[in-house]
Amino acid sequence: MTRIFSMSVSLFIALIFLLGFQTTFTSCTKTTTHYDTVTVTKTDTTVKTDTVALSDTAVTAQLLSASPWELQYTRMVSGDSIIYYTRGGAYNENFDAELITFNSNLTGTFVDPTGTSHSFTWSWSNSTNTQITLIITTGIPIQPTETVVWDNLRFKNDSLLFDQYDSLGTLNQQGECVMIPLSTL
């Protein structure tokens, strides 16, 4: 029995040794992970070009005097107030009555938003016909005339487009305007 027991103990120790050896030395395999790299090149195909000079019609005295002009759109700063108007649309000041008529002899008539008619003289302020100076008779004794400058004047899509600068007394105004030929609806 001692021999069986000693063999059992020897066998038991050998098993423990083998199990300990097995868990102590394990084999490792190295795995390499490859990542694919994707390069994205973004190409902007939109090219912004300014074609104002190519598509605008030159403004002439004949063009200005061909029809009375009514205000289609304006957005301006008048003193400390912002004024906006779109004919048939939104506005905080009504310019429906405003109308301007140019004569080829450098005179004209301006009907203000209240419907009051004023005479004016006008002249080209530069040789490219992109700026006009209007001297409007106001009817106000303190300041009998008002000087209005239309700058960056151009004719496009049957409309006059310009920046307007003027002052009346201490009230200065600056805005962008679009005028269209008087509609005959």
pLDDT digits (tens, 9 = 90+) for 67-125: 999 999 999 999 999 999 999 998 999 999 999 999 999 999 999 999 999 999 999 99
pTM reported for the whole predicted model: 0.68
What is the Cα–Cα distance from 69 to 164, expressed in whole angstroms? 15
Q: Encode pLDDT of 4-36 as tens digits.
A: 555 566 666 665 655 555 555 555 555 655 555
Residue 12 backbone phi and psi in degrees, to 5: -65, -40
Residues whose CB is less than 8 angstroms from the CB of residue 168 and which lie 6 or more positions away in sequence, other chains included: 138, 143, 146
CATH number of 58-181: 2.40.128.20
All structural domains of the chain with their residue ranges? 58-181
For tokens 């190519």, the residue is 54
